[in-house]
A = this chain, B = another copy of it.
Amino acid sequence: MHTPSSAADHYELYYWPGIPGRGEFVRLVCEDAGVPYLDVARRPVEDGGGEQAVVRALESLPGLPAFAPPILRVGELVIAQTANICRFLGERHDLAPGTDGGRAEAMQLQLTVTDLVAEVHDTHHPIAVSQYYEDQKPAAKLRAAAFRDERLPKFLGYFERVLQRSGGPWLLGDACCHADLSVLQALLGLAYAFPRAFARASAATPKLLGLRDRVAARPRIAAYLASPRRQAFNEYGIFRHYPELDPA
């Protein structure tokens, strides 16, 4: 899926190499849609990849400047913001409803995943993104406790309620959309970062766990997850496993 086959579908993704991070939400849309994309920074440095590719994209891509990666380039168009890119790709590749109202519903769900992801990030960086986790550990323990006890059950319960209301099998009913794909990534990340708290909270959300399994079983997603393109979670990304933040 790395080699673009036509100019119309020539997508270039710019995201930090070495972590799945927010770039992964974009990758999942491309993978499920079966559209080729060039994951620029994951190429060897000598081929224009590496972190420098992202830094260069932030500084000097034409078009609208981006505040942060991921950045998607499609010809002359350069767009950023994870949820925004997921929606844009979803609407182009049959992973979004066809009406303005339906598209707003899908985006509402996508942005609720965005909020959840931001809160996960802040469990290990509650004070400053510029400081190491080790330097903000006391606050991280407090924030992580509030996340585990209050926010995680609330987010999971919300998506469970969405599935109850729609009747499934997907968040919005009959058709899978970009937000379903992002929910998979969020749930896998939560299970990695907070295995104990996630097991506790998700025991009350069987429909959501069913959705997770359903998305993971989609043929192109299953193939992707088993491929070398899929990167493992680690302690440099958003979903980090620090045992002290997930006590028994």
Residues of A within 8 A of B (CB): 63-67, 74, 77, 79-81, 83-85, 87-88, 91-92, 100-101, 104-105, 107-109, 111-112, 114-115, 118, 122, 126-131, 136, 139, 142-143, 146, 150-151, 154-155, 158, 161-162, 165-166, 172
Contact = CB atoms under 8 A, between A and B. Distances in A.
Contact of A142 (B129, B139, B172): B139
14 contacts: A64-B108, A65-B165, A66-B108, A67-B112, A67-B115, A67-B154, A77-B105, A80-B108, A87-B104, A87-B107, A88-B100, A92-B100, A127-B142, A129-B151
Contacts of A63: 105
A210 B115 CA distance: 31
Copies of chain A in the complex: 2
Nearest to A78: B105
A216 to B, nearest CB: 23
